[in-house]
Amino acid sequence: MNPVVGLDVAKGESQVQAFLDRKQPYKKSFKISHTVEGLKQLHHFLKDIEGQTSSKPAVIMESTGHYQSSIIQFLDEHHYLSIVVNPLLSYKARTSSLRKVKTDAIDAYLLCEMYYKEELEPYKKRGIQLLNLRNLTRQHEQITNLSSQNKQQFQTLLDQVFPEYKGVFGDLCSDVSLLVLLEYPTSSCVLLADEKTLSDRIHTLCQSRSQSWAKEKANLFIKAAVRNPFQENLYFSLITSMKMHIQMVLQYKEHLSNLKNEIDALVKDIEEYKIILSIPGIGEKIAASIRFFQKSER
């Protein structure tokens, strides 16, 4: 016999239907929750089928993004064959079926029928290392986009509070530049402090540079404050918003740095990654992303 279990997977639950063999449905369809108890119920049902047929049933389901992740992991841990089908295939099976009504029970039933009609490949396990790499590179890309948007918003606010500050430091969004601006966000704050106070504070925030460099930046800072058209800021809300965005820029930079370290540690022993990285114009993040997609296509 060739048993199969069809799962119509949804968020937090799945509809279950079993066939002992072609055209031999087994018991009534039922639902399980994606919890420890629900998975135990599924395991008991699979063992029941195994006892009836003397062979482990395959489990077929439609791809639903991340909703099936707990099911796949559970089946893999208990050594059951998983088959994840493209939703287009299951849709084609539904439209060609006499059962035109769409319900979870019917969908699970049709998945079982599809198992006997189509030549389906088992689910390809990508491996923990590769899935971690996927999650980290995706998170890095998302935070990079958020960081870019936040930097644009910060610069828009800076134009309304202290536009002359641009040019004091070579990189407006460097740590030292942001931290200095966070402490002295307006012309009046800068002009109330003397050059030595500003110079010492800049040097404290960037000790890798010389005291003379810090003094030069303090002098540029004071000149920018004198030129600034907003000598008095009427809208304190703009200052509050700008300081908030400065803190967000710094936080995003920290998150991106931590993610980069995690990605580097993960891929350092992957030979293909080193080869991809050797291509001119390919950086570490792109190499890690290429490595993931190359592997997932196999």
CB neighbours of residue 121 within 10 Å: 9
- 178-214 per-position pLDDT tens digit: 999 999 999 999 999 999 999 999 999 999 999 999 9
Produce one character per residue of 54-77: b if its CB has 16 or more CB atoms within 10 Å, e if not.
Answer: eeebbbbbbebeebbebbbebbee
- Going from the C-alpha of 135 to that of each of 2, 66, 130, 277, 282, the distances in angstroms are 36, 12, 9, 20, 20
| Predicted pLDDT at 168 | 95
How far is 211 from 65, CA to CA, in rounded Å? 55
**Confidence band of 295 (pLDDT split at 50, 70, 90):** very low
Residue identified by tokens 């948007």 is 149
Q: What is the dihedral of CA 278, 284, 287, 289, to 10 degrees?
A: 180
Q: Which of 101-110, 125-134, 142-151 has the lowest mean pLDDT?
A: 125-134
Where does the chain have alpha helices with state H? 36-53, 69-77, 87-96, 104-117, 128-161, 175-183, 187-192, 195-205, 211-227, 236-267, 271-277, 284-296
The residues pairing with 6 across neighbouring beta strands, listed in sequence order, are: 17, 60
How far is 222 from 290, CA to CA, in rounded Å? 47
Q: In what order do the strands lie in the sheet with 58-62?
A: 24-33, 13-21, 4-10, 58-62, 82-85
- 106-121 per-position pLDDT tens digit: 888 989 988 888 777 6
End-to-end Cα, the chain, rounded Å: 31
| Predicted pLDDT at 281 | 57
Judged against a pLDDT cut of 70, whether residue 272 lies above it is answered with no
**Confidence band of 267 (pLDDT split at 50, 70, 90):** confident
**Does the predicted model carry a pTM greater than 0.75?**
no
Whether the CB-CB separation of 236 and 260 falls below 8 Å is answered with no
Residue predicted with more confidence, 9 or 92: 9
| Predicted pLDDT at 190 | 95
Whether the CB-CB separation of 71 and 61 falls below 8 Å is answered with yes
Query: Across the chain, what does the average pLDDT equal?
Result: 86
